[in-house]
Chain A
Amino acid sequence: MDFSFTSEQLAFRDAVERFGREALVPNWSQEADDGNIFLTDSWKAMGEFGILGLPYPEEYGGSGASAVDTCLAGEALGRAGVDAGTTLSMGAHTILCGVPIWKLGTEEQKRKYLPKIASGEWIGAFCLTEPGSGSDAASMTTKAERDGDGWVINGSKTWITNGPVAHQFIVTAVTSPDANPRSFGISTFIVDADAPGFRIGRKLDKLGCRTSPTSEIFFEDCRVSADALLGPQDMGFALVGKLILGWERTCLMSPALGGLHHGMATACRYMHQRQQFGRPLAKFQALQEKIADMRVAYETSWGLLYRVADLLDRDEPVMVEAAILKTYLSEAAVRCSEDVIQIHGGYGFAKEYLVERYWRDSKLGTIGAGTSEIQRGIIARAIGEF
């Protein structure tokens, strides 16, 4: 075992944190948050900085970064105080859209999409959830039927991160309705936003991560060519689940680890500066205990997160470990951001200190990418089917 980062890794984390603080944080505004507005300047800056294609091989425009380093970058952005809308859009793009193409795509698909994903030119999205199917994803009704050489897709998807701004969408659709289990009859397609019959629905208003636009997506006799199929027919969903969920539940959660760190640092600084009853808040033990609990949550999450990332880099199975990480970190992040508000008192409840945003942003963690309840089911079943 080795629980340390190399000095290069630490320098990389510091560079990304500085980039986040200087090039991304200033782009956020209360107006953008209120208006659910995508931060185009931040997106361009991330593309130029080279952070949108980290894990892909260099020949496809990526950096060949390990999962550990990809998480390190995510953590660094969170530490810098980058809003979770920005990191969510990045995760949906780089991980949910890009990683399936990298892992399952043909050479042509990889050459067509990955360089433009890595540069940020083409924004990506991932379409799994439907109005009637969330946790029970295999019960989806969107279907794709053969049409000559190509496919015709019909149905609708919802809660699609980057929906309103994306260029290409990874779409799961039923291709063999009679398959048993159902998950072995679902294929994955890459659908471009200009495909005929593809329509982006209304932008959805939500509690947090508001600079990351979310929408419904409709497929009305949407025609795609044969080369839109990603991975083997009928097995796309199962493979995406197997290959991607580990990445999703770690890399997408890494900004939350950084966010927890940032919230803790913000609370500490406020406690030094704010005086009540003639002394700084930092002197009050009740508040000190909240800081201690945040630190414990950070250190515990740290181990759980980088363990999964390290296992991913070793091609080891991570299903259970990722579920453990996601359950713990997402719930710790909500708890800690609530304590950060409490420490700030009225200022925390008001918008000017931003800490209310941490709490709103953090809440997505327990819901997206498999709810806490789904994770607990996975963890329990690790002991064997029952």
Chain B
Amino acid sequence: MDFTLTDEQTAFAEGFARFVDDEIVPRGEAVDRGKVFPKEGYRSLGEIGYLGLGMPEKFGGTAVDPIEHYIAQEELARGCASTYLSAGASCGLFGVPLRMFGSDEMQSEILPGLVRGELVGAWALTEPHCGSDAAAMKTRATKTDRGWVLNGSKMFITNGNCADWIVVAAKTDPDAGYAGVSSFLVHKDTPGFSAGTSLEKMGCRGSPTSALYFEDCEIPHEWMLGAEGSGFIQAMQTLEFGRVGMAAFGVGIARAALDESIKYAKERSAFGKPIIKFQPVHFKIADMRVMVEGAQLLGMRASWLHRQGKCPQSLFSAAKLYATESAVKCTDMAVQIHGGYGYMAEYRVERLYRDARLGPIGEGASEIQRRLIAQETLAEFA
């Protein structure tokens, strides 16, 4: 047992935090207001190597220690939730299944550009009528002589209208339930594919979200990702990464809320003293710190166990659930500490509050996480 960071890990964390402070944080406000994909930040993430963390070295990636990977994610989320989300959809939700299940050909075509930040990826599972109940998807892939023809639509797709490549889950056998789902690599220029305009949303507004449409969209055989019928299992494995990533998302935002609150509470005076001197204010700061540290340990532990193939599903879920719900609570406290200024867009906590709210919804709603945790726990104590 060892809860300490090595010197290398500490140095990595400090270096990456500096990068985030220099390159990501200053752009955060404009990214949110502009509601466009954070191109500059994304490019700089390619340059510093973030997008290639865990990717094969022959395609420009770097092998990474699971703790450092988690730290980098948390730091980026602390800097800008929109940039984090788009980068995560690209090199995580899209890049991970490509790395795990893609042919060498697919990987050599896409990964080098993705790692450099020149290509953007997206992952399409959710549909207008089905989110948590993914197996109820209706998008169909029909086999033809030349390949597969996709018909249907997808919803709430991060990077949907700015991605070069998309991993799309579709039913290849509508009667086979989970086993009837397969996944495909779709290029944005494929005839029959189109993306909707960016959806207006509460937070993470710099990360574009859109619907995707497939109308007789033809995909060659070789662009099926992995084996036919393995799409659902792929999705579940991708979501293991996704839940660690969302834990980092929550902790990063919660930390930003904590940092802003400490700064403001020391500066702002009321009744003749800095408001941090008031117990209701500094107890909130203590509560935020408790949540941040508890969630951070869950996220790091899930990341560490994941790499060893030993992470129980309930721990992935616990990390995602606790971190994202804590982020909502922490940002709420941060707005409260800021008073009227916290409600104004001028202060960063207003954005953090909106950004945090995605956490308990995206990549498996809190209700789905609780269900999963309960099922595993109830089975353990039968």
A residues apposed to B, CB below 8 Å: 1-5, 9, 68, 264-265, 268-269, 271-272, 282, 285, 288-289, 291-296, 299-301, 303-304, 306-307, 310-311, 314, 316, 321, 324, 327-328, 373, 375-377, 379-383, 386
Contacts and interface: CB of A to CB of B under 8 A. Distances in A.
Tell me the dominant secondary structure on chain B's binding face.
helix
Tell me the dominant secondary structure on chain A's binding face.
helix
Given A295-B318, A380-B286, A304 B377 contact: no
Contacts of A292: 321, 369-374, 377
Interface string B291-319: 00111011011001100000000110010
Contacts of B9: 1
Contacts of B377: 264, 268, 291-292, 294-295
Contacts of B1: 2-5, 9, 68, 306, 310
A282 B294 contact: no
Most chain B CB inside 10 Å of its own CB: which residue of A5, A321, A376: A376
A1 B286 contact: no
24 contacts: A1-B5, A2-B2, A4-B1, A5-B1, A9-B1, A269-B382, A288-B370, A291-B374, A291-B377, A292-B373, A299-B315, A299-B318, A303-B301, A306-B1, A321-B293, A324-B294, A327-B286, A327-B290, A373-B283, A376-B282, A377-B282, A380-B285, A380-B286, A383-B285
B300 A282 contact: no
A299 B316 CA distance: 11
A296 B322 contact: yes
B375 interface: yes
B27 interface: no
A291 B3 CA distance: 27
B294 A303 contact: yes
B318 A386 contact: no
Contact of B318 (A3, A300, A327): A300
A289 B374 contact: yes
B378 A310 contact: no
B7 to A, nearest CB: 13
B262 interface: yes
A289 B67 CA distance: 30
Interface of B: 1-5, 9, 67, 262, 266, 274, 276-277, 279, 282-283, 285-287, 289-290, 293-295, 297-298, 300-301, 304-305, 314-315, 318, 321-322, 367, 369-378, 380-382
Given A300-B297, A377-B279, 17 more contacts: A2-B1, A3-B304, A68-B1, A264-B381, A265-B380, A268-B382, A271-B378, A282-B378, A289-B370, A291-B377, A293-B370, A296-B322, A299-B318, A300-B294, A310-B3, A373-B283, A377-B282
Pairs A-B, 3 closest by C-beta atoms: A303-B297, A268-B381, A288-B374
A58 B52 CA distance: 51
Nearest to A332: B294
A329 to B, nearest CB: 10
A13 to B, nearest CB: 12
B374 A1 contact: no
Given A3-B304, A68-B1, A379 B290 contact: yes
B297 A304 contact: yes
A380 B283 contact: yes
Contacts of A324: 289-290, 293-294
Given A3-B304, A310-B1, A382 B282 contact: no
B282 A386 contact: yes
A326 to B, nearest CB: 10
B17 to A, nearest CB: 17
B301 A3 contact: yes
B315 to A, nearest CB: 6
B132 to A, nearest CB: 13
Most chain A CB inside 10 Å of its own CB: which residue of B276, B289, B372, B381: B381
A269 B374 CA distance: 13
Contact of A300 (B274, B298, B367, B372): B298
A377 B381 contact: no
Contacts of A1: 2-5, 9, 67, 300, 304
B326 to A, nearest CB: 9
Contacts of A264: 377, 381
A296 B295 CA distance: 10
B287 A376 contact: yes
Given A307-B3, A314-B4, A268 B373 contact: no
A34 B39 CA distance: 69
B289 A288 contact: no
A70 B301 CA distance: 22
A287 to B, nearest CB: 8
A162 to B, nearest CB: 30
A150 B374 CA distance: 61
Contact of A304 (B67, B294, B369, B378): B294
Most chain A CB inside 10 Å of its own CB: which residue of B3, B297, B298, B373: B3
B293 to A, nearest CB: 5
B262 to A, nearest CB: 5
A352 B4 CA distance: 45
B114 to A, nearest CB: 29
A383 B262 contact: yes
Contacts of B305: 3
A299 B298 contact: yes
Nearest to A5: B1
Contacts of B298: 299-300, 303
A271 B321 CA distance: 23
A285 B378 CA distance: 12
Nearest to B372: A292
Contacts of B372: 292
Contacts of A288: 370-371, 374-375, 378
Contacts of B290: 324, 327-328, 379
A104 B80 CA distance: 49
A300 B318 CA distance: 8
Contacts of B314: 295, 299
A38 to B, nearest CB: 31
Contact of A379 (B277, B286, B300): B286
Contacts of B369: 292
Contacts of A321: 293
Nearest to A327: B290
B283 A376 contact: yes
Contacts of B381: 264-265, 268-269, 272
A310 B298 CA distance: 16
A39 B313 CA distance: 41
A386 B297 contact: no
A68 B373 CA distance: 26
A127 to B, nearest CB: 29
Nearest to B263: A383
A294 B377 CA distance: 10
A359 B287 CA distance: 23
Given A264-B381, A300-B297, A295 B373 contact: yes
Nearest to A323: B286
Nearest to B289: A379
